[in-house]
């Protein structure tokens, strides 16, 4: 005689249904991701109270997601598969109310040193111009000079958060990072410094702050280009107006205002004050 199974065969599908129902009522990782993105602290807190390990949930298009949802995620994040995105990345990406969620996740054991395609959380906050999140990251021990560790084929290899800061709110973000010890002339793998990135992006405010802190406008990248060369290069992506680009070029030209201010900063070992730098700016940058 064949031995009877330890439970009736009909119990298996019922068990699967019960498990699914439990997951539905208790919340799934996808529900948790959505709650983090909404800033729903109570839902996230309740989920972590039930299972603290959920703080390490990976964020990526999963098999259970609809095809259109996957397309939306790929269009929004540029990712079609998991590339290192955790819950804390989505928390840090919030424009408002990020800090309470970051506090909650970090308190539950989230790793603030994780990276996304080479960038640290500080790189990402700097790139987005999110001063609140960048300050939180610095307060929680992230080194302002950590390098982007993407592959050699990545244009951003070796960049620091100060490089990424030249994208949005470059003046304020640069000032924050420099005040926290960022290296003003940090050199990326392609030989470019943050001042190169400010010039390339038409960031006059960022270039002004960097020069006040002693950035070298004569430094060349591996192609032999100075920041001034990049201002003049045709086809550079920039949100700057024609007047701003003209002022940026005058500020960065050899022997110009940036060179004068930066030389003073390096000689003194301290940044030139905003007021003093503005005097030099007015003397060296023509107004229309």
Q: Per-residue pLDDT tens for 214-272?
A: 999 999 999 999 999 999 887 666 678 888 899 999 999 999 999 999 999 999 999 99
- The pLDDT, as a whole number, for residue 91 is 96
CB distance 148 to 123 below 8 Å: yes
**Which one of 124, 141, 158 terminates a domain?**
158
Candidate from 30-34, 111-115, 187-191 with smallest mean pLDDT: 30-34
Residues 192 and 288 placed together within one structural domain of the fold: yes
> Is residue 8 domain-resident?
no
The contacts found for 179-185 with CB under 8 angstroms, 24 or more apart, are 180/138, 180/144, 181/144, 181/145, 182/144, 182/145, 183/145, 184/210, 184/213, 184/214, 184/215, 185/214, 185/215, 185/216, 185/219
CB contact at 8 A, 147 and 159: yes
Q: What is the pLDDT of residue 229?
A: 96
In a domain, 94, yes or no: yes
Looking at 140, 158, 176, which one is the last position of a domain?
Answer: 158
Whether 71 has a pLDDT exceeding 60, the answer reads no
Q: 119 — phi, psi (to 5°)?
A: -90, 140
3-state SS class at 31: helix
Confidence of residue 152 (pLDDT cuts 50, 70, 90): low
Q: Report if residue 13 sits inside a domain.
A: no
Q: Which positions ≥6 away from 179 have C-beta within 8 Å? A: none
CATH assignment of the domain containing 125: 1.25.40.20
The whole-chain average pLDDT of the chain stands at: 86
Average pLDDT over residues 33-48: 94
- Please check whether residues 146 and 215 belong to one and the same domain: no
- CA 171 vs. chain centroid, Å, equals 16
Residues in the chain: 288
Q: Which of 141, 158, 175 is the last residue in one of the domains?
A: 158
> Higher model confidence: residue 148 or residue 77?
148
Residue 62's domain comprises: 57-67+83-158
118 found inside a domain: yes
| Residue 122 near residue 146 (C-beta atoms within 8 A) | yes
> What mean pLDDT do residues 82-109 have?
92
| 244 within some domain | yes
CA–CA dist 141, 166 (Å, integer): 22
For residue 77, pLDDT over 90 is answered with no
Q: Report the domain count for the chain.
A: 2
Q: Which two tokens stand for residue 180?
A: 């926290």
In a domain, 229, yes or no: yes
Mean pLDDT of all residues in 126-132: 96
Asked whether residue 1 is domain-assigned, the answer is no
Same domain, 62 and 149: yes
Residue 23 falls inside a structural domain: no
Q: Same domain for 148 and 223? A: no
Reported pTM: 0.83
CATH of the domain at 258: 1.25.40
């Amino acid at each position: 005689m064949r031995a009877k199974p330890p439970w009736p065969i009909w119990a298996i599908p019922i068990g699967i249904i019960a498990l699914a129902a439990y997951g539905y009522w208790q919340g799934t990782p996808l529900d948790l991701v959505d709650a983090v993105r909404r800033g729903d602290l109570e839902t996230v807190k309740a989920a972590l109270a039930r299972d603290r390990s959920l703080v390490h949930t990976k964020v990526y298009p999963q098999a259970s997601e609809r095809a259109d949802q996957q397309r939306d995620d790929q269009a929004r994040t540029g990712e079609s598969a998991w590339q290192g995105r955790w819950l804390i990345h989505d928390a840090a990406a919030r424009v408002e109310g990020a800090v309470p969620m970051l506090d909650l996740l970090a308190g539950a054991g989230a790793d603030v040193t994780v990276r996304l395609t080479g960038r640290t959380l500080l790189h990402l906050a700097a790139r987005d111009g999110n001063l609140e999140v960048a300050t939180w990251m610095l307060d929680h021990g992230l080194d302002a000079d950590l390098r982007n560790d993407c592959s050699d084929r990545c244009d951003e290899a070796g960049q620091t958060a100060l490089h990424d800061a030249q994208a949005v709110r470059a003046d304020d973000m640069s000032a924050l990072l420099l005040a926290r010890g960022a290296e003003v002339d940090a050199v990326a793998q392609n030989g470019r410094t943050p001042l190169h990135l400010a010039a390339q992006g038409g960031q006059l405010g960022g270039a002004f702050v960097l020069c006040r802190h002693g950035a070298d406008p004569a430094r060349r990248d591996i192609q032999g280009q100075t920041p001034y060369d990049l201002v003049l290069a045709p086809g550079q992506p920039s949100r700057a107006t024609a007047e701003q680009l003209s002022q940026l070029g005058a500020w960065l030209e050899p022997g110009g205002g940036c060179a004068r201010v930066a030389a003073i900063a390096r000689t003194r070992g301290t940044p030139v004050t905003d007021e003093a730098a503005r005097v030099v700016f007015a003397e060296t940058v023509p107004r229309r």
